[in-house]
Structure 1
Amino acid sequence: MEEETIGINEVVVTALGIEKEAKTLSYNVQKIEAQEIVAVKDASFINSLAGKVAGVTINSSSVGVGGSSRVIMRGVKSISGNNNALYVIDGIPMPDLSAEQPEGVFAGAGQTGDGVSNINPDDIESISVLSGPSAAALYGSSASNGVVLVTTKKGQKEKLSMNLTNSTVFSSPLILPEFQSTYGQSETGSYYSWGDKLTTPSRYDPADFFQTGLNISNSLSLSTGTEKNQSYVSVSTVNSQGIIHNNDYDRYNFSVRNTSSFLEDRMTMDLGFMTSHVREQNMTSQGQYFNPLIPVYLFPAGDDFSKAEIFERYDASRNFKTQFWPYGDQGLSMQNPYWITERAKFTNRKERYMINATLRYKLADWVNLSGRLKLDKNNSRYEKKFNASTNTLFASENGYYSLNETETRQLYGEVLLSINRYFNDEMFGLTANIGSSVEDVLYNQDLYGGKLHGVANLFTYSNVNPSTSEALQSGYQKQKQAIFASVQLEYKDRVFLDMTARNDWASTLANSKTKSFFYPTVGLSGIMSDLLHLKSDLMPYLKLRISYSEVGNEPDLFLTIPTYGLASGYPQTQTRMPNTDLRPERTKSWEAGANMFFFKNKLKLDATVYKSSTYNQFFEPTLSSSSGYTSVIVNAGQIDNKGIEVMANYNDTFGKLKWSSYLTWSLNRNKIVELLPGWTNPVTGELISLSELDMGGTGSYKMVLKEGGSMGA
């Protein structure tokens, strides 16, 4: 066991930021080191995890540089709720700052990045991925879909050290659709390309529309420290240009962290500050509107695309340049693709500030008391500017302007008592944690905008036509309180029994009969190579593990209480019926696995099988008008996921050459067991049941969920 090329006694960060030896865990945790994240830098470090973690699907957005990423662990579980993993920074959950996702085939213009993309990847020490509910249960309902734990760097006990890095990455489209170039337009001015055979094959190539993308990252960090005090400071810049012209992303980060010990090292204080300033421009639309790829891909074969490159021409009657696009909108609200990138501007400026403080006191050699506070504030200023002659569906003849300002503030506090003690000459061990947390999130939004009148291309509030303007002032405040505990019993450093429990009180369940929700986990693991004396040079280590868990997923805001809006100074009641019987979604899950080392610990192999069942799904059936409402959110339905995860990691050294490689494989099978078997309206007695659910669509495309079918990946 002396040679630990990979590290049998590797320490990983688990729930609540608690460090544990990997061999003691009864669930699967996959750790990614910092050098694997920054080897090839992406504007969002989450995309760098793709292919490195088994059972985790990472879909980077195609909106362009700086876009958000979707992280799905062990399959889609919820029909209408949240399916994305929770991000935790230094043990503290991060609020959901992701932009509104595209709905349907039309929306999606100007989508922006999520909150985690604001973090400087050079500040990251390591990442732990908790893909199963057993691993993530201590974080509550927010972690029902797994957790990405990010541990940031802090100062080291050494002389002053400086690290300066630069990364320059070029990008281009890998694969484009193939288009025929033999037949031309079916009629003049049409985008249909199944007309007469061309005398000379078309030379039009959609690839000509794209440019070479460029991502330049620079980072400078300083680290210094003594036995009593350590400090870390970093600054970084990211400047990116997407493969579509005018899709730009700029990010500027600054962070500082100080760790100090007092009272003969019995007290430790950790203070940190991080800020980021981001500018995003023209994130590519995912829908039909303002998507330049629609006219690029549908441009008629045989026609001259260079005409479209001169996207605006002087209009003598208006004394300024207007859009040139002789093909019309073709019923698809199409516009000149170059006009979309140059004269339909979506700009988002974001400022984020994170302040955190941790105080830890050693009451005895085997017991610690700690407290954590974090303030996370995010401000966003999102502008839309459409020049005159933009399609009249979106703007007047003079243009369009809107400004949407949002503020999100998260305040998080936690108290934790930790016990770690051995008995009977270290034959038995006890590790226990008990604590409480509160999370308070405040959100405010101010929006005003509309079509312009008076002066063309004057983008001010005063030039917005008040008769067609949109004004919105909204906000909410939600809070979640929790108590939690975990216990691990250990026998001879070979057998480990894990138990956790958590109870949440969520404000989203105000006025419901379910005031709180409780969920437990239990797990057992054993190092069989020690218990059964199976050690050998071929396989020096074998651990088997099994665990069971239950977790919840709270409903959205304002579903259990009546709400009122204001229009023209008069209150208006909601059309959705409040449901005081609403309960959280529940997921029951079990997993079993093995962790093995081979060839003197150079090869590590992890294998896991799992099955989960998510029930009490949220549905919104339509109600008859006699009820006084149009719809209601109810609990029903069940989705099952089962699968296999395999990860192999090989590390070796050949002289001065270090070799490290990963291989991951996963399989997930998803089944819709039940939708809405029957719900009775307590007001009218109406019985509602669904065996099919229409999720919407357009044209000949429609997404339908059916019992016995599957959903998502």
Structure 2
Amino acid sequence: MNPLHDLFIKAISKRSLFLLAVCICFELSIFAQGNMIITGQVIDVNKEPIIGATVQDENNKNGVITDMDGKFSIKVSSRNATLNVSYIGMKSQNVKTNGRKQLTIVLEEESVAIDEVVVTALGIKRESKALGYAVTEVKSDNLTAGRENNLMSALSGKVPGVDISTTGGGVGESTRVTIRGNSQLSGSNAPLYVIDGVPMDNTQLGSANENGGIDYGDGISSLSPDNIESISVLKGASAAALYGSRASNGVILITTKSGQKKQGLGIEFSSNISMVKLLSGFDDYQRVYGQGRNGMPPLNEMDAKGTTMSAWGGRLDANLPVLTFDGSYRPYGNVENNILSFFRTGFATTNSVALSSGTETSTFRVSVSDMRNNDIVPSSKMNRTSFTVRGSTQLGKKMGIEARVDYTIENVNNRPGLSDDPSNIGNSIIGLAPNLDQRWLGDSFKDEHGRYIDWNGNNIYRTNPYWVINEMRNKTKRNRIIAFINYHYDILPYLRFQFKVGTDSYNFQATEFSSKYTPTAPGGEMTITQRNVREDNYEAMLRFNKSFLKDRLDITAFIAGNIRRNESDKLINKGENEVVDGLVSITNYSNPYSPQHALIKKQVNSIYGALNIGWDDYAYIDFTLRNDVSSTLSKANRSYIYPSASGSFIFSKFLNIENSILSFGKVRASWAKVGGDTDPYQLNLSYGLSNVIFQGTSLGVINASKVPYRDLKPTSTYSYEFGTDLRFFKGRLSLDLGYYFQTTKNQILGLPVSVSTGYSKAMINAGEIQNKGIEMALSFVPVQTKNFEWESTINLAKNKNNVKSLHKEVKDYQLAAARWGNAFIYASEGQPYGVIVGPGFKRDPDGNVIFKNGLPTYDSDIKVLGNGTYDFTLGVQQSFHYKGLSLSVLFDMKWGADLYSMSARQSHANGTSKETLRGRAEWYESEEQRKANNVSEANWTATGGFVGEGVMNIGTNDNPVYVPNTVAINPQTYWTNVTSNTAEPFIYDASFIKLREMNISYQFPIKWFSKTPIRSLSLSLYGRNLFTFYKNVKNIDPESNYSNGNGQGLEYGSLPSRRSFGFGLNLKF
């Protein structure tokens, strides 16, 4: 470990204890005594008492906090004292006593319509009216309404221009977040995550490709939503430019909760319990024909095992006993719920407790959150515990310190395999014939000696799911610390110096274990992957903020420098062939692999600054400039500069036209250029040791698969944005509308090269991608009375993407490959990013499929079959409030993407899809007639069967004559042929409409607890992913993707998606 890093962590801990001591001392302090006692009560507009409001004498600064009835008693300095009364979320008031000894003070809710403050780059809070770019902020209550355990998934539908998806990898899965489309070919399209000013490493630690894999989550998936105060999404390059090269895809700023000044001592407890059920199911599976081939049930042991995943057998008959895979005879009838019964009801609980305190000069908050989640997949579960300490104190009039430490422990057992992984239980059970019950697999997955029992004709890649959950285990453990300490000194009232040190450090260990007799590892196998990752940031900043010309001219500026150091240490140990059966230890293998070790270091030095000018509260202009120097680029190219400019004009104020109809009107515009570097060690060859031993020494090898390019240059992203913010009827109707245009040039990517070179790719600069689109955030209050309010929010975004160019010798760049069907995900010139390509049906000039001998014909060349990226998103949220009762409903909609479902391909190949019923009865009847007439297949013209929709050529190739296809064939033959040659029939429109979230809560009247220490009590019922109202993909969730990489639109063996609903309690003292 880095000694400086260890010293920093120790300093943080000592500082936290100091802050706690300071806060306690302030709580016990006795303020200056006054000459007169004033009593009174603080209430809201509904005459409800306000507990914990601060009442302070402006003259002697003596202050008190209202009790459970909103009452107070304070000693003031004179008969005509001025009392400052404040409470979070309420407008503060200055009340003159004028000799009165008894006061009733009414506080109104604070308006946030025009002077709303949002968190922007580098954690700087600014009024939204001054911004020339789009920033969307989501508050804590909105984030936790559906009790989604994955923080980023909780944002779905709530921010225009942000697309969020997951892999279906179960508990602790990673999320894929893109802002305003995809812009990177080989690098990540993910935004930068910043927590309280500390950049966070969000590397996805495991993923799946066409051959399989396991999603081991990412950094953001381990954060507890209960600790979050708000999330700000910086979308355009202008908004994010100050964060440097990593921010070209946008920035997500996460602000955690803290103690509030003048709050006093408070305790908050929340508890939530959720039940997790299946959302999607296999509702399009046929229940007419059972296990077997060519219309016949299994007749012997070989058939009984070899056709468990083939439903091309005879018509189901519960009175017919047939031989099954385990040697038992069972009724050949339909088994209800034969697949979904494998999954259990999951449960998730989250309990959090927080202690907070605040005085005029200090704040403090400590919290503990514990989450336990048992997934629908048996033996899959996750535990996450977070400890957070945050505090601040003012050291005199000029100095102040703020610090925070967040420590998270995450343990996950048995994450499901994805794609074509042998541990993917989806691939095994979703193809089960309808007369077979998955429970029978659990009764006979191993014999009395612990050996694996074959159930499917020795198909080693379709492992018995009960063997998977019991004998192919995986476990991950992650310990993470995110911390910072920030010191500031006010040199002058308008000039502040601050120094901040932040760290994000975690260690991660993944263990994969396959016991002896596992089909793909007969001798047993174990792999342990360990990663230690750390990022340290050191930032010094000088800030200037002053008003001139009688406060009409406001100037804010800063200049700053930052040193960022990244280090990643990865070690993989693997062993095969167990020595002692059942002993789970990496030393218990006779065939250990040489450890694989990788150490990666990177440093970026930066200097940056900003100038913000405001005139008379209606005109604002901002300029930023940043220079990064990256260690990953050559000396000639490692320094790169990117500027930005933005402005906003509040025309309603300038023209003095603000009235009861138009409350506020603003236009904005911005421009920015952002640079980007690459991963370490892309410029030169790297070396390593092979497993080959010669004369007692490992032979050296070139440890690289890519040809390095020493003249790599930084990428460049150019962004333009225009928008308007209009508010009507005193804020009851708000419209934020924006247009953006973004181009990313000079991409850093690897182009395929001949294998004879010894490399797979060559690194170059090439490629240009363009994104343009519109975003709309509409909010209106149709009904508002004294006790009832209905608020509606609509978030809409439309993005148009185009791959403008790649390279003079390459017009298609592969982003991903499918395991079956010869399909790929490409970035192709002139096409949207992420098209699904592959060979398709051969068609006539009118678009009809051309058949020959009853079978379709195929193009030899690949063509575009679909696109895996959504281009239109819509979130609609409805909120209703009646006194203390609230109802919130969120609908999430996406259009424009396609999905290649290899699960659908499999269900057609094995005869379980309802579509495979077409022509079956007719074909079997025709076969009976053929056999009765003793005619060979070659001499028989089928009287019925599957007749494909299309045409056949009765002319010549040079002079075709097309007529409707009339040739009937065996449906099994047809679907076997189609599934072996093309993906086209299994590419579906992945559009959907979902009831994403619902929350019903009740806030009990505080007067009910006037005799108790309770300050607030609320109960809630909530649900997440409750219903899918519209979809085109059959049997699976349209959001299913087995990878969170750049190649989207591929699904294989997806597990059912989950819906959750539960109960929550929130209590404050």
For Structure 1 versus Structure 2, the TM-score category normalised by the shorter chain is over 0.9
Does residue 181 of structure 1 match 2:287? yes
1:693 partner amino acid: Y
1:594 alignment partner in structure 2: 724
Letter in 2 for 1:576: K
1:59 matched residue in structure 2: 165
Give the alignment partner of residue 419 of structure 1, picking from 529, 544, 549: 544
User: 1:118 Cα deviation (Å)?
Assistant: 2.3
Q: Distance in 2 between matches of 1:491 and 1:32?
A: 29
Deviations along 1:382-441, whole A, 9 cap, x unmatched? 1111122212x3x233x2122222111211111111111111112222111210111111
Residue range with higher mean Cα deviation, 67-76 or 562-571:
562-571
Out of 97, 104, 108, the residue aligned to residue 213 of structure 2 is 108
Deviation at residue 576 of structure 1 after TM alignment: 2.7
Q: Is the 8 A contact 2:420 2:819 kept in 1?
A: no
Secondary structure in structure 2 of the residue aligned to 1:181: coil
- Of the three residues 270, 278, 289, the one matched with 1:165 is 270
- Whether the 8 Å contact between 2:198 and 2:503 is mirrored in structure 1 is no
Within-5 A mapping of 1:459-474: 459-466=584-591, 469-474=593-598
Between the aligned partners of 1:259 and 1:658, the Cα distance in structure 2 is 37
Matching residue's letter, 2:620: F
Residue 128 (structure 1) aligns with: 232
Q: Conserved in 1, the CA contact under 8 Å of 2:648 and 2:668?
A: yes
> Within 2, Cα distance between the matches of 1:496 and 1:558?
43
Which is worse superposed, 575-584 or 668-677? 575-584
Alignment-derived partner of residue 813 in structure 2: 693
Amino acid at match of 1:537: S
Per-residue CA shift, 1:317-358, capped at 9, x if unaligned?
A: xxx32333411354x700111221222111001111223100
In the aligned structure 1, how far is the partner of 2:730 from the partner of 2:257?
Answer: 31
The answer on whether the counterparts of 1:3 and 1:600 sit within 8 Å (CA) in structure 2 is no
Q: Is 1:666 aligned to residue 789 of structure 2?
A: no
* Cα distance in 1, alignment partners of residues 437 and 153 from structure 2: 38
> Matched residue of 2:182: which SS?
coil
Matches within 5 A, 1:283-298: 283-289=415-421, 290-298=423-431
CA drift of 1:21 comes to 0.4
Which residue is equivalent to 1:538? 661
What amino acid maps onto 1:436 in structure 2? G
The answer to whether structure 1 residue 561 and structure 2 residue 679 are counterparts is: no
Q: Given residue 225 of structure 1, which amino acid in structure 2 is its aligned partner?
A: G
- Quick check: 2:198–2:483 contact (8 Å CA) kept in 1? no
Which residue of structure 2 aligns with residue 685 of structure 1? none
Moved more, 693-702 or 365-374: 693-702
Query: Which residue of 109, 134, 143 maps to 1:37?
Result: 143
- Counterpart in 1 of 2:616? 492
Change (3 A) 1:121 1:302: same
Indicate how the Cα distance of structure 1 residues 208 and 525 shifts in structure 2: closer, same or farther if over 3 A, else same: same
**Aligned twin of 1:649:** 779
Tell me, yes or no, if structure 1 residue 326 matches structure 2 residue 455: yes
Cα deviation, residue 176, structure 1 = 2.1
Larger mean CA deviation between 305-314 and 473-482 belongs to: 305-314
Code of the residue aligned with 2:684 in structure 1: it is I
2:507 paired with 1:379: yes
Distance in 1, Cα, partners of 2:225 & 2:784: 27
2:246 pairs with 1:118: no
Q: Give the AA of the match of 1:199.
A: D
Give 2:533's aligned amino acid. T
Distance 1:575 1:41 in 2: 44
The correspondence of residues 179-218 of structure 1 with structure 2, limited to 5 A, is 179-187=285-293, 188=303, 189-190=306-307, 191-200=309-318, 202-205=334-337, 206-218=339-351
The alpha-carbon distance between structure 1 residues 653 and 235, as it changes in their structure 2 partners (threshold 3 A), is: farther
Residue of structure 2 equivalent to 1:238 = 371
CA offset digits 1:43-65 (Å, max 9, x no partner): 22221111110000011331112
Say whether the 8 Å CA contact 2:199–2:504 is kept in structure 1.
Answer: no
**CA positional deviation for 1:71:** 0.9
Paired residue for 2:1062? Answer: none
1:267 and 2:399 equivalent? Answer: yes
Where has structure 1 moved over 6 Å in runs of 4 or more? Answer: 1-4, 625-628
Q: Do the aligned partners of residues 311 and 639 (structure 1) sit closer, same or farther apart at CA in structure 2, a change above 3 Å counting?
A: farther
- Out of 429, 434, 452, the residue aligned to residue 577 of structure 2 is 452
**1:684 maps to which residue?**
none
Report how far residue 627 of structure 1 moved. 6.5
In structure 2, do the counterparts of structure 1 residues 60 and 692 end up closer, same or farther at CA, with 3 Å as the change threshold? Answer: closer
Q: 1:653 to 1:159 in 2, by over 3 A?
A: farther
Give the Cα–Cα distance (whole angstroms) in 2 for the partners of residues 690 and 472 of structure 1.
34
**Residue identity matched to 1:517:** Y
- Report the equivalent of 2:40: none
Q: What secondary structure sits across from 2:665 in the alignment? A: strand
- Please show how residues 4-83 of structure 1 align to structure 2 within 5 Å: 5-83=111-189
How far residue 224 of structure 1 moved from its aligned partner, in angstroms, is 0.8
Offset of residue 258 of structure 1: 1.5
Quick check: 1:527 aligned with 2:650?
A: yes
CA contact (8 A) 1:232 1:256 kept: yes
Residue 522 of structure 2: aligned partner: 396
* Stretch moving more, 361-370 or 194-203: 194-203
- d(CA) in 1 for partners of 2:774 and 2:161? 8
Equivalent residues, number: 689
Select which of 704, 708, 719 maps to 1:578: 708
Determine helix, strand or coil for the equivalent of 2:451: strand
Tell me the amino acid that sits aligned with residue 526 of structure 1.
Answer: F
Which of residues 625, 644, 647 is equivalent to 1:501? 625
The answer to whether structure 1 residue 706 and structure 2 residue 828 are counterparts is yes
Alignment counterpart, residue 675 of structure 2, candidates 552, 565, 568: 552
Q: Answer with 138-147 or 202-211: which moved more.
A: 202-211
Deviation at 1:657, TM superposition (A): 4.8
Contact 1:6–1:604 (CA<8 Å) still a contact in 2? Answer: no
The question of whether the paired residues in 1 share the 8 Å contact of 2:210 and 2:420 is answered with: yes
**1:107 counterpart letter in structure 2:** G
What SS is found at the alignment partner of 1:298? coil
Contact 1:154/1:259 (CA < 8 Å) preserved in 2?
no
Is contact 1:512-1:580 (8 Å) kept? Answer: no
Quick check: which has more Rg, 1 or 2? 2
Q: What TM-score comes out, normalization by structure 2 length?
A: 0.63
The TM-score, its normalising length taken from structure 1, stands at: 0.93
Distance 2:358 2:478 in 1: 33
Counterpart residue type for residue 482 of structure 1: S
Distance 2:351 2:395 in 1: 36
What's the secondary structure of 2:578's corresponding residue?
A: coil
Corresponding residue SS for 2:657: coil
Q: Secondary structure at the match of 2:468?
A: helix
Aligned CA distance change for structure 1 residues 513 and 197 (closer, same or farther; 3 Å): farther
Aligned to 1:341: 469
In 2, the alpha carbon distance for the partners of 1:427 and 1:655 equals: 38
The CA distance in 1 between the partners of 2:786 and 2:221, in whole Å, is 38
2:42 — aligned with what? none
Q: Aligned partner of 2:450: which letter?
A: K
Q: How does 1:274-313 map to 2 (within 5 A)?
A: 274-289=406-421, 290-313=423-446
Residues 53/604 of structure 1: CA separation in 2 closer, same or farther (3 Å cut): same
Distance 2:784 2:444 in 1: 57
RMSD after superposition: 2.0
Report deviation, 1:216.
0.6
Which residue, out of 395, 399, 406, partners 2:531? 406
Q: What are the Cα deviations for residues 510-531 of structure 1, in whole angstroms up to 9, with x where unaligned?
A: x353121111111121011112
Distance 1:243 1:531, change over 3 A: same
Q: CA deviation at 1:42?
A: 1.9
Q: Counterpart amino acid of 2:411? A: R
- State the SS of the aligned residue for 2:746: strand
Unaligned runs of 5+ in 2: 1-90, 92-107, 294-302, 319-332, 835-868, 870-1069
Q: Alpha-carbon deviation of 1:371?
A: 0.8
Distance 1:624-1:325 versus aligned 2 partners, 3 A rule: closer
Distance 1:668 1:256, change over 3 A: same
Q: Which amino acid aligns with 1:396?
A: P
Contact 1:433/1:487 (8 A) holds in 2: yes
Letter in 2 for 1:480: V
